[in-house]
Structure formats: C-alpha cells, structure tokens
C-alpha cells in the first residue's frame, strides 16, 4: 500500500492583537487549558474565516495539546470550516418541521434560480450552501441561517430578496422575534 502524504495547509499563523486579547481573557474562564480549545478555535475562525492545518497546530501549541487531539475535535463539530466557505455561508435546515413546511421547494429554488447546490460554493466565492439539521427555529419554518443571521418563514420571494441583499452587500437583519 502506498502511503499518501497530504500537503499541510495554510500560511504560518498567529493570533492578531485583538484575538490575542480575547484569548487571554478566555484562558481565565476555565480551570484547564483543554477547555479553552473550542473557544480558541472560534477565535481563530473569526480571524481567518476557516481553519488551516497551520492554525490547528498553532492552537495546539498555545494550549499545550497534541495536534492529534485538536484535529479530532475539529473533525467532530460541524461548524468549524476546514476550507474557506463562501462570503455568505448558507445553512438550510432539512429536518422535520422544515420538511413539513416544504423546505424542498426552497432547496430546489436555490439550485434552479441561484445556482446554489448543497456542499458547493459558487465560482465567484460569494455563496456556499450546506443542508443542516434542525436550527431550533421550527416555529418559523422553513429556515436558513446566512452567516450569523437567521432567515425565517422563508418563501421563494423572500429567498430572492436575501440573495439580492447579499450580492448588494447590505447587512441582513433578523425579523423581530415574536412572543410565540
């Protein structure tokens, strides 16, 4: 069997000043360094957009953890990106309540009209689409999350507006949360 050596990804990495400050603050909140791993990965991802091998090794070193542990943890969770997502990363919910509210119609529309397909990124790097499990917003299904913003009660028209807003670079706003 021939051994396949994958190339290690990423430029040399270090936290910038702002991230370093947050990192130091976080260290004080936990009794072990290992517990800082998830927060540190979030900080790294906020700074860089995704997590390269170089970043994982940097984080491992900062927290005195074995790189193997860090790789395994990152692999386990779905929200850490190992490759650059689109500028707008869309998570469309596919679980039961959204299905009962016809999320397939939204999925087909994203593909047919906007060329967005699950697991793919558009050539211009603007959008990536991921089908995800229940987003905890089943009362306003169908739902998708665009970067940090929940877009609820989706209709085809609403989806078009959201995509246009992204293209125009306007900040998306969440609908005000209803009491029910």
Partner 1 sequence: MSKQIISTNFDKADAHKLEVYEKLGGYRSLEKVFKMKPEEIIDHVKKSGLRGRGGAGFSAGMKWGFVPKSIDKPKYLCVNADEGEPGTFKDRKILQLDPHSMIEGIITCSYAVGIHTTYIYIRGEYTKPRIRTQAAIDEAYAKGYLGRNILGSGFDLDVIVHRGAGAYICGEETGLIESLEGKKGEPRAKPPYPAVIGVFGCPTVVNNVETLSALPFIMNEGWEAYARLGTEKSTGTMLFSISGSVERPGVYEGEFGVNLWDFIERSTGGVRGGRKLKAVIPGGSSAAILTAEEAGSTNLDYESLAAAGSMVGSGAIMVLGEDDCVVKALRVIARFYAHESCGQCPQCREGTYFISELAERLESGHGDQSDIEKILDTCPMMMGVTVCVLADSIAIPARSYIEKFRHEFDEHVKQKRCPYDSARAPAVA
Residues making contact with partner 1 (CB under 8 A)? 29-39, 41-42, 63, 65, 69, 72-73, 76-80, 91, 94-97, 99-106, 109, 132-142, 145, 148-150, 153-156, 174, 177-180
For residues 146 and 129, give the distance between their C-alpha atoms in angstroms, rounded to a whole number. Answer: 9
- Name the segment binding ligand FES (CB under 6 A); options: 3-11, 34-42, 138-146, 168-176: 138-146
Q: Does 166 bind ligand FES (CB under 6 A)?
A: no
| Residue 38 vs 134, nearer CB to ligand FES | 134
Report the partner that residue 12 touches, choosing among partner 1, ligand FES, none (CB closer than 5 to 8 A by kind): none
Number of other residues whose CB lies within 10 A of the CB of residue 10? 15
For residues 69 and 116, give the distance between their C-alpha atoms in angstroms, rounded to a whole number. Answer: 34
48 sits in which H/E element: helix 37-48
Integer angstrom CA distances of residue 64 from 43, 70, 160:
17, 10, 47
Report the partner that residue 177 touches, choosing among ligand FES, partner 1, none (CB closer than 5 to 8 A by kind): partner 1
Question: Could you tell me the two tokens for 166?
Answer: 């992204």
């Amino acid at each position: 069997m021939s051994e396949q050596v994958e190339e290690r990804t990423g430029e040399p990495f270090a936290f910038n000043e702002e991230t370093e400050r947050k990192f130091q603050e976080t260290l004080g909140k936990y009794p072990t360094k290992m517990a800082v791993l998830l927060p540190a990965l979030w900080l790294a991802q906020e700074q860089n957009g995704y997590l390269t091998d170089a970043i994982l090794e940097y984080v491992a070193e900062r927290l005195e953890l074995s790189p193997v542990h860090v790789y395994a943890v990152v692999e386990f969770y779905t929200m850490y990106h190992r490759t650059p997502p689109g500028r707008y990363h869309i998570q469309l919910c596919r679980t039961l309540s959204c299905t009962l509210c016809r999320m397939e119609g939204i999925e087909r529309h994203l593909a047919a009209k906007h060329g967005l397909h699950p697991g793919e990124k558009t050539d211009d790097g603007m959008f990536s689409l991921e089908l995800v499990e229940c987003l905890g917003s089943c009362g306003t299904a169908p739902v998708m999350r665009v970067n940090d913003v929940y877009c609820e009660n989706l209709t085809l028209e609403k989806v078009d507006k959201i995509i246009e807003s992204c293209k125009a670079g306007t900040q998306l706003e969440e609908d005000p949360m209803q009491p029910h």
